[in-house]
Amino acid sequence: MHKLTEKEAILILPAVVDNEASQDERDAFFAFIAGNENVRNQYKDALLMKRLLSEKLARKTAPPHLKQAIRDTLQNLKSQEELDSTQDLGRDQPVTDHGYRSKSEKKSTTLLFRYLSAAAVLLIFTLVTVQILNRVNPSAIDSSAQILENISLEHFIHSGGNLIDPQFSFSSITEAEHFLAENHQLTITVPHIEGAEIAGIEMSEFTDNFNTPLLKYHQHEINETIYLFAFDLNEVSALNNLVRNSHAAAACKEREDFYVTEIDNYHVVSWLWNNTWYTAVSNHNGYDLASLVEPLNYSSQ
């Protein structure tokens, strides 16, 4: 796997956010941001901006003046790059035996041009986005930024979907339920997932200053991990900046109900048992995952 520089990581960040990067690029990107807080924060900001736009604003065609502004910016950058390249040829500088710049020099120039182009487009897009978001109700922004299903997926993605050793390991679901009741005063049902064993529980910091149980399951036969968050709805209701996906909340009323939210080609499965809200994330199709959880009514979907 190619090890990225910070400049390269920033260059492919938009493709990662839009799920257009290759798997190798994604692996390299997430490996890089694991040790680089600056780019990691830029990635989180980009995800937030995308979520705000997709959930609160109708998708419309960009106005002609914005399209033209982007085209003009790119053309100006290209013209400047070509001019600099022509001037470089007339200067006294190290050249190859054939009298022209080496491939590595050309590659650096091309990469720089791509980087500046992407930065220019991102700058224009950011300025326009800020203007749009300034017209949106601030309370709506806070709510959309803290949707349970979206944050659940972010935790799964940031872990790489791997079974990272949990804080507390258990041999059975009953043992896990007793642990939550005795140590955290949480009376919840730990779901049985067919073909999977509960690996343990982590009292995860879901968002700033809010912790909730993360139940980790492992499917040994296919070596897959399932992340399952459990939320006390009374605690969620007490927080102004944390809400459920509105469609999921409307769909899940009975014990057999569930809802699959599709986010960036991942599925998050939500359901409600008593006063506990569950969000499950894995590499599965969401309906396949729901079919493994009893008594969710998969057949009626």
- Does the pLDDT at position 59 exceed 70? no
- What confidence score (pLDDT) does residue 158 get? 87
Q: Distances from the Cα of 138 to the Cαs of 53, 57, 240, 253, in angstroms?
A: 14, 14, 12, 29
Q: How confident is the model at residue 143 (pLDDT cuts 50, 70, 90)?
A: very low
DSSP code string of 18-58: TT-S-HHHHHHHHHHHTT-HHHHHHHHHHHHHHHHHHHHS-
Rounded CA gap, 180 and 272, in Å? 18
Rounded CA gap, 23 and 31, in Å? 12
Of 1-10, 32-41, 90-99, 248-257, which gets the smallest average pLDDT? 90-99
| Averaged pLDDT for residues 67-83 | 71
| Averaged pLDDT for residues 225-237 | 93
Q: Residue 67 half-sphere exposure, CB side, CA atoms within 13 Å?
A: 5
Domain ranges of the chain: 6-56, 64-133, 146-300
- Does the pLDDT at position 90 exceed 70? no
**DSSP-derived secondary structure letter, 299:** G
If you search the block for the tokens 């100006």, which residue do you land on?
76
- Does the pLDDT at position 251 exceed 70? yes
Of 22-26, 162-166, 265-269, 278-282, which gets the smallest average pLDDT? 162-166
Q: Which amino acid is it at 279?
A: T
Of 2-16, 76-90, 149-163, 272-286, which gets the smallest average pLDDT? 76-90
Q: How confident is the model at residue 180 (pLDDT cuts 50, 70, 90)?
A: very high
- What confidence score (pLDDT) does residue 23 get? 83
pTM: 0.54
- Identify the CATH number of the domain defined by range 146-300: 3.40.1000
- Does the pLDDT at position 181 exceed 90? yes
Q: Name the average pLDDT for the chain.
A: 78
- Tokens found for residue 152: 């659940």
**DSSP-derived secondary structure letter, 198:** E
Q: How confident is the model at residue 301 (pLDDT cuts 50, 70, 90)?
A: very low
Asked if the peptide bond before residue 14 counts as cis, ω within 30 degrees of 0, the response is: no
- Does the pLDDT at position 253 exceed 50? yes
- Does the pLDDT at position 101 exceed 80? no
- What confidence score (pLDDT) does residue 56 get? 53
- Does the pLDDT at position 17 exceed 90? no
- Does the pLDDT at position 118 exceed 80? no
